Amino acid sequence: MTKGELLRLDRRHVWHPCTQEKDHELLPPIPIERGDGVYLIDLDGRRYIDGVSSWWVNLFGHNHPRLNRALQEQAGKIAHHIFAGFTHQPAVELASRLCALAPEGLNRVFFADNGSAAVEVALKMSFQFWQQSGRAEKVRFVSIHEAYHGETVGALSVGGCDLYREIYRPILLDTFQAQGPDCFRCPYGKHRDHCEAECFEHLERLVTERRHEIAAVIIEPLIQGAAGMRIYPPIYLRKLRALCDACQVHYIADEIAVGFGRTGRMFANQHAGVAPDFLCLSKGITGGYMPLSVVLTRDDIYAAFYDDYATLKAFLHSHSYTGNALACALAVEVLNIFEQENILEFLKPKMALLDAFASKFEGLPEVGEFRRCGMVAAVELVRDKRSREPFPWQQRRGYRVYRKALQDGALLRPLGNVVYFMPPLTIDEAVLEELLEIAYRAIEGSRGRAEG
Ligand SMILES: Cc1ncc(COP(=O)(O)O)c(C=O)c1O
Domain borders along the chain are: 31-59+344-445, 69-340
- The finding on whether 222 has its CB within 6 A of some atom of ligand 1 is no
Best CA proximity match to 234, nearest among 201, 185, 267:
267
For 210-247, give one letter per residue: b (16+ CB within 10 A) or e.
Answer: eeeebbbbbbbbbbbbbbbbbbbbbbbbbbbbebbeeb
Q: What is the arithmetic mean of pLDDT over 40-68? A: 98
CA neighbor of 435 nearest in space, from 30, 39, 17: 39
* CATH numeric code, 69-340: 3.40.640.10
Ligand 1 binding pocket includes 148 (Cβ within 6 Å) = yes
CA neighbor of 166 nearest in space, from 144, 151, 182: 151
User: Is the C-beta atom of 226 inside 6 A of ligand 1?
Assistant: yes
Got the DSSP string for 155-190? Answer: HHHT---HHHHGGGGGGS---EEE----GGG-TT--
53 is in an annotated binding site: no
- CB of 177 sitting under 6 A from ligand 1: no
**What pLDDT is attached to residue 449?**
56
262 lines ligand 1 (CB under 6 A): no
Reported as type and span, the H/E element at residue 390 is strand 389-390
Give the closest residue to 216 by CA, choosing from 311, 108, 121, 315: 121
Q: At 367, is the pLDDT very low, low, confident or very high (cuts 50, 70, 90)?
A: very high
Pocket test for ligand 1, best of 158, 282, 376 (most atoms within 8 A of CB): 282
The annotation status of 115 as a binding-site residue, yes or no, is yes
Residue 214: pLDDT over 70:
yes
**Average confidence (pLDDT) over 81-91:** 98
Residue 413 counted as an annotated binding residue: yes
Residue 53: Cβ-neighbour burial (10 angstroms; 0-12, 13-18, 19+): buried
Q: Is the CB of 119 under 6 A from ligand 1?
A: yes
Written as one string, the DSSP assignment of 92-105 is HHHHHHHHHHSSTT
Mean pLDDT for 8-29 is 96
Q: What is the pLDDT, as a whole number, of residue 448?
A: 75
Neighbours of 319 (CB within 10 A): 17
Give the distance (Å) from ligand 1 centre to CA of residue 5: 32
Percent of the chain with pLDDT over 70: 99
Percent of the chain with pLDDT over 90: 98
Q: Of all helices (H) and strands (E), which one includes residue 445?
A: helix 429-445
Cα–ligand 1 centroid distance for 241 (angstroms): 22
Residues 375/350, Cβ–Cβ less than 8 Å: yes
Q: Whose CA is nearest to atom 13 of ligand 1?
A: 150
Residue 425, pLDDT above cutoff 60: yes
- Determine whether the annotation assigns residue 108 to a binding site: no
Residue 415, CA atoms < 13 Å, CB-side half-sphere? 22
Q: Is 225 in the pocket of ligand 1 (CB under 6 A)?
A: yes
Residue nearest to atom 5 of ligand 1 (CA): 150
Q: Is 286 in the pocket of ligand 1 (CB under 6 A)?
A: no
Q: What is the number of the ligand 1 atom nearest to the C-alpha of 55?
A: 14
H-helix segments, 291-357: 299-303, 325-340, 348-356
Which numbered atom of ligand 1 lies nearest the CA of 114?
10
Query: Beta partners for 142?
Result: 176, 217
Question: In angstroms, rounded to a whole number, what is the distance separating the alpha carbons of residues 434 and 72?
Answer: 33
Is the pLDDT assigned to residue 183 strictly greater than 70?
yes
What's the pLDDT score for residue 452? 42
Ligand 1 atom with least separation from CA of 257: 16
> Which whole number is the average pLDDT over 171-199?
97
Nearest alpha-carbon partner for 339 in 57, 66, 34, 35? 66
pLDDT value at residue 450: 52
E strands, 62-166, where?
106-112, 140-144
320 annotated among ligand-binding-site residues: yes
73: number of Cβ within 10 Å: 12
pLDDT of residue 272: 98
Class for domain 31-59+344-445, per CATH?
Answer: alpha beta
- pLDDT tens for 112-144 read 999 999 999 999 999 999 999 999 999 999 999
